[in-house]
A and B are shown apart, each in its own frame.
Chain A
Amino acid sequence: MIKIKGISKVYSMGDIEVNALMDVNLRIGDGEFVSVMGPSGSGKSTLMNILGCLDKPTSGKFFLDGKDVSGLDDDALAGIRNKKIGFVFQSFNLLPRMTALHNVELPLIYSGIRREQRIQMAMKALEKVNLTDRVMHQPNELSGGQRQRVAIARTLVNNPSIILADEPTGNLDSKSGQEIMEIFKLLNREGVTILLVTHEKNIAEYSKRIVTFRDGRIIEDRLKDS
């Protein structure tokens, strides 16, 4: 349900042109759990930004659930980010002076959903990540692991086609990191498609397929054995 063909991304920094991605082809099916690995500068973050509709490729085509999204305008892309894609960031990216509940509600506000329904849907998402006892706390009153759980709940709230996670355990200690990966595993077992960027081998081991990038190209794409 994600299909990219011939995707390239070129940045110009002054006179220098950087080929972040070069003619990348990739297919990700419903329900898959994929890790993207590679050294820094290999293009994996650029790929995430394009898949997350935060950036447009220089060339190539991007099909999401059968629809070509490469030519869409900003408003349409925003709609896709709202309803079809969930983002989990390394630094959590929660709104600091609002409660966990309100953070999770936020995508629903932009979907135009009414207040009572929003709160219900947000509480359901927070249940899924086991955080119902701290919903009225602000992010600075939560631990790193709890914040990331709020972020994951925020991605779930609109039932996205895919969750994109960029180094989700990068700012967590190993115990919290494991908790988060267990949640991803659980969600994937329930049918959520997950694409995860990491440079840690043991985190990638939680997924079922590992795609390795180097210098803007995919050099390996294998199913995890066992």
Chain B
Amino acid sequence: MNILESARVAIRAIWSNKMRSVLTMLGIIIGISSVITVFTLGKGGRAAIGQEFESFGVARVFLGMNWSENPQSGDIINHADIDALERTFSDEIYAISPRYTRGGEVSMNRKNENVNVSGVNEQYNKIEKNEIVKGRYLIESDIRAAREVAIIDSTMAIELFGRLDVLGERITVRTRNRNISLLVVGVFEEKKGLISNLGLDEPPKYVYIPISTAEKIFGLGDRVYGIDMNLQTDVDVQAVLDRMTGMIERRHRNQGEEIYRSYSAESEMETVGRVTGIISAVVSSIAAISLVVGGIGVMNIMLVSVTERTREIGIRKAIGARRRDILLQFLVEAVIISGMGGVIGTAFGIGISFAISSFIKIPPGVSLGTIMIAWFFSVGVGVFFGIYPANKAAKLAPIEALRYE
């Protein structure tokens, strides 16, 4: 009896006991669908995080004070430092801007908004990359003149004024001990990020003002607490950042004191990549365990099936079935059951991960490779867990088998 005939015999046997076959498949279905779901969500999640970093700026870096080391006033970065950085690293820097942020509140027409007032220079939009929908961004003369102007978020414009075109309006920001009155000269639309897609609490809206204005209002003097930069795309980000930090340390004569901290999206990405990789591996292992359990289920049912069909095996042997005919029949049965379970489980897994990824807005990561691997796995489970029962069936002695009630 060849494989095709065995398949026919096996399918007939599976079909004639549909309930039992379905219950057997259930373990494989659940196992495969959880493996596929975890896999594709993991891939999609990593792609989404990658996109986040893309929109954040892959070559984006931050250099600022490490407050936990108690810097003295002589340690604090100043404007001369920024000029030095711009000169020395002119080839590597695409845009550079000092930044000072203070939290506050804007009240207007009985509406309250929590805001972050961020003092930056005219290059900052080449770093943060927001789309200007009305008016303009900050310009060099704003900074030179320390004008009291602001660029605000489009949703804030609509919340406070009910419309987008709010150029020329004034807003008053109340911070802890200062009130600032600002003239709106531009409106920007914030990039949609993963955080807002998750539907968590909205972070405070940003209000961008000239850094010189912030320094004037908050009395910062020559102090720069943090520098944002966007480097050219072909540089070794971490190496450049280390060199910059070294230069600042030399200028302030505090090498080795860890007074300054730096941050690059690149190293962050690596860390996140490692962490998600570990999480993915752990969860995949758990899912794989459920697949093993499913396989054990197949084996158990096949063993029961063999016992139940002892008489049948005896009859088949009596009319001429050889050992390998019986072995092949039961093995093919196990493989078909787990193969079908694999197909159904794959369909479920893809369906579930599509549903979840449309809910939390990450791209689905289904690939033909994943599907093929899952299917081969389920067939492999069928072979591995089906061999023992199939062999048991094949070795039955015909006379005893026929006598079995």
Contact = CB atoms under 8 A, between A and B. Distances in A.
B317 to A, nearest CB: 7
A94 B322 CA distance: 18
Interface string A30-74: 000000000000000000010010110000000000000000001
Interface stretch (B1-9, B200-208, B259-267, B343-351): B1-9
Interface in B12-26: 12, 16-17
A110 B321 contact: yes
B399 A81 contact: no
B320 A81 contact: yes
Nearest to B12: A98
Interface string A83-98: 1000101000111111
B318 A110 contact: no
Interface string B315-329: 111111111110000
A93 B316 contact: no
Contact of A55 (B312, B314, B399): B399
B355 to A, nearest CB: 39
A75 interface: yes
A93 B315 contact: yes
* Top 9 closest pairs, chain A to chain B, by CB: A82-B320, A97-B16, A78-B322, A110-B320, A107-B319, A93-B315, A81-B320, A75-B322, A54-B398
Contacts of B319: 81-82, 87, 106-107, 110, 154
Interface of A: 49, 52, 54-55, 74-75, 78-79, 81-83, 87, 89, 93-98, 102, 106-107, 109-112, 154, 158
Given A93-B315, A97-B16, A109-B5, 8 more contacts: A54-B402, A78-B320, A79-B320, A82-B320, A89-B402, A93-B314, A96-B312, A107-B320
Nearest to A46: B399
Contact of A78 (B17, B314, B317, B402): B317
B217 to A, nearest CB: 88
A51 to B, nearest CB: 13
Contacts of A74: 322-323
A98 B16 contact: yes
Interface in B296-344: 311-312, 314-325
A54 B320 contact: no
B318 A83 contact: no
A87 B9 CA distance: 22
A87 B318 contact: yes
Contacts of B2: 112
A78 B5 CA distance: 18
17 contacts: A54-B318, A74-B323, A81-B320, A83-B320, A87-B318, A89-B402, A93-B314, A94-B315, A97-B16, A97-B17, A107-B320, A109-B5, A110-B316, A110-B321, A110-B325, A112-B1, A154-B319
A83 B320 CA distance: 8
A94 B323 CA distance: 20
What is the predominant secondary structure among interface residues of chain B facing chain A?
Answer: helix
Contacts of B320: 78-79, 81-83, 107, 110-111, 158
Contacts of A79: 320, 322
Interface residues of B, number: 24
Nearest to B6: A109
Nearest to B312: A95
Nearest to A154: B319
Output the residue of B317, B321, B322 with the most chain A CB within 10 A. Answer: B322
A54 B5 CA distance: 24
A95 B322 CA distance: 17
Interface string B32-50: 0000000000000000000
Nearest to A97: B16
Nearest to B322: A78
A96 B17 CA distance: 12
A61 B9 CA distance: 36
A123 B317 CA distance: 22
A49 B399 contact: yes
Q: B316, B319, B325, B399: which has the most chain A beta carbons within 10 Å?
A: B319
Contact of B399 (A54, A82, A106): A54
A93 B314 CA distance: 9
A3 to B, nearest CB: 22
Contacts of B323: 74-75, 78
Contacts of B315: 93-95
A93 B316 CA distance: 10
A52 B317 CA distance: 11
A146 B287 CA distance: 53
Contacts of A81: 317-320
A170 to B, nearest CB: 15
A107 B321 CA distance: 8
A52 B318 contact: yes
A190 to B, nearest CB: 21
Contacts of A96: 312
A109 B114 CA distance: 80
Contacts of B398: 54
B318 A93 contact: yes
Contacts of B1: 109-110, 112
Nearest to B395: A74
B318 A109 contact: no
Contacts of B321: 78, 82, 110
A55 B398 CA distance: 8
A97 B5 CA distance: 17
